[in-house]
Amino acid sequence: MNTTESLEKLHRIDREYRCLEKALAVLQWDEETYLPPKGIGERAEQLALLQGLAHQRLVSPETGRLLDELGSTPENPRGDGGLPPLERDFLRVMRRSYDREAKLPEDFVREAARAEGLSQAAWAGARRANDFAAFLPHLSVMVDNARKKARYWGYTDTGDGKGGLYDGLLDIYEPGLGSAEISAIFGPLQERLSAILKDLGSPQDYPFLDQDYDIETQTQFNHYLMDYLGFDRSRGRLDTSAHPFTTSLGSDDVRITTRYFPNNLLSSIFSVIHESGHAFYEMGFPPELQGSCLADGASMAVHESQSRLWENVIGRSRPFWEGLFPALRRYFPRQLGAISAGVFYRAINLPRPTLIRVDADEISYALHIILRFELEKQLIAGELPPEELPRRWREYSRRYLGRESDTDSDGVLQDVHWSMGAFGYFPSYALGNLYSLQFWTQMKKDLPDLESSLAAGRFQPVLSWLSERIYRWGSRLTPPELLLKVTGKKLSPAPFLDYIETKYGEFRTVQ
Amino acid sequence: MNTTESLEKLHRIDREYRCLEKALAVLQWDEETYLPPKGIGERAEQLALLQGLAHQRLVSPETGRLLDELGSTPENPRGDGGLPPLERDFLRVMRRSYDREAKLPEDFVREAARAEGLSQAAWAGARRANDFAAFLPHLSVMVDNARKKARYWGYTDTGDGKGGLYDGLLDIYEPGLGSAEISAIFGPLQERLSAILKDLGSPQDYPFLDQDYDIETQTQFNHYLMDYLGFDRSRGRLDTSAHPFTTSLGSDDVRITTRYFPNNLLSSIFSVIHESGHAFYEMGFPPELQGSCLADGASMAVHESQSRLWENVIGRSRPFWEGLFPALRRYFPRQLGAISAGVFYRAINLPRPTLIRVDADEISYALHIILRFELEKQLIAGELPPEELPRRWREYSRRYLGRESDTDSDGVLQDVHWSMGAFGYFPSYALGNLYSLQFWTQMKKDLPDLESSLAAGRFQPVLSWLSERIYRWGSRLTPPELLLKVTGKKLSPAPFLDYIETKYGEFRTVQ
Q: Tens digit of pLDDT for each residue in B418-448?
A: 999 999 999 999 999 999 999 999 999 999 9
Residues A202 and A100 in one domain: no
User: What average pLDDT does the structure give for chain A?
Assistant: 94
B42 touching chain A per CB within 8 A: yes
Confidence of residue A509 (pLDDT cuts 50, 70, 90): low
d(CA A376, CA A396): 12
A248 touching chain B per CB within 8 A: no
The answer to ipTM > 0.95 is no
B174 assigned to some structural domain:
no
Residues A227 and A353 in one domain: yes
Is the Cα dihedral A440, A444, A449, A451 positive or negative?
positive
CA A385 distance to own-chain centroid:
26
Residue type, B77: P
Check B237 against A20: CB less than 8 A apart.
no
Pairing of strands B246-248, B254-258: antiparallel
Closest among A250, A252, A299, A310 to A276, alpha carbons compared: A310
Burial class (CB in 10 A: 0-12, 13-18, 19+), A23: buried
> Residue A202 above 90 pLDDT?
no
Among partner residues A39, A234, A239, which is closest to B253 by beta-carbon distance?
Answer: A39
CA A468 distance to own-chain centroid:
22
Which listed residue (A275, A282, A322, A376) is catalytic? Answer: A275
CB-based contact B24:B43 (threshold 8 Å)? no
Residues A116 and A189 in one domain: no
Structural domains of chain A, count? 2
Residues in chain A: 511
> Residue B363 above 60 pLDDT?
yes
Burial class (CB in 10 A: 0-12, 13-18, 19+), B219: middle
Residues B426 and B374 in one domain: yes
CB-based contacts of A113, cutoff 8 Å, min separation 6: A44, A47, A48, A50, A51, A52
Residues A443 and A500 in one domain: yes
Residues A417 and A468 in one domain: yes
Residues B10 and B147 in one domain: yes
d(CA A261, CA A263): 5
C-alpha R_g of chain B:
23
Confidence of residue A200 (pLDDT cuts 50, 70, 90): confident
Check B20 against A253: CB less than 8 A apart.
no
B389 assigned to some structural domain:
yes
Residues B404 and B270 in one domain: yes
Residues B91 and B184 in one domain: no
DSSP SS3 for A243: coil
> Residue A82 above 90 pLDDT?
no
Domain finish residue from A153, A173, A193: A173
Residues B100 and B211 in one domain: no
> Residue A508 above 70 pLDDT?
no
Residues B224 and B256 in one domain: yes
Write the pLDDT tens digit of every residue in A338-386.
999 999 999 999 887 789 998 889 999 999 999 999 999 999 999 999 9
Residues B198 and B99 in one domain: no
E strands, B8-135, are: none
Q: Which chain A residues touch B53 with a CB distance below 8 Å?
A: 53
What is the average per-residue pLDDT within B49-74?
94
Nearest CA in chain B to A56: B53
B366 assigned to some structural domain:
yes
CB-based contacts of B453, cutoff 8 Å, min separation 6: B447, B459, B460, B461, B462
CB-based contact A36:A104 (threshold 8 Å)? no
Q: Is A275 a catalytic residue?
A: yes
- Pairs across A and B, CB distance < 8 A: 103
Residue B88 domain boundaries = 3-165
Write the pLDDT tens digit of every residue in A428-485.
999 999 999 999 999 999 999 999 999 999 999 999 999 999 999 999 999 999 999 9
CA B273 distance to own-chain centroid:
13
B171 assigned to some structural domain:
no
B478 assigned to some structural domain:
yes
What is the average per-residue pLDDT within A269-295?
97
CATH of the domain at A262: 1.10.1370.30
Check B36 against A251: CB less than 8 A apart.
no
Q: Which chain A residues touch B50 with a CB distance below 8 Å?
A: 20, 23
DSSP readout, B464-504?
HHHHHHTGGGTTSS-HHHHHHHHHS----SHHHHHHHHHHH
How far apart, in Å, are the Cα atoms of A141 and each of A103, A109, A113, B40, B314? 20, 13, 11, 37, 49
DSSP SS3 for B236: strand
Domain finish residue from B165, B199, B234: B165
Q: Which chain B residues touch A39 with a CB distance below 8 Å?
A: 235, 249-250, 252-253
Domain finish residue from B165, B198, B231: B165
B227 touching chain A per CB within 8 A: no
B83 assigned to some structural domain:
yes
User: What average pLDDT does the structure give for chain B?
Assistant: 94
Which candidate in B12, B58, B252, B255 is best for mutational testing of the A interface (most A CBs within 10 A)?
B252
> Residue A401 above 90 pLDDT?
no
> Residue A204 above 90 pLDDT?
no
Confidence of residue B511 (pLDDT cuts 50, 70, 90): very low
Residue B154 distance to chain A (closest CA, Å):
32
d(CA A484, CA A328): 39
> Residue B3 above 70 pLDDT?
yes
Residue A238 distance to chain B (closest CA, Å):
10
Burial class (CB in 10 A: 0-12, 13-18, 19+), A423: buried
- Supply the pLDDT for residue B199: 84
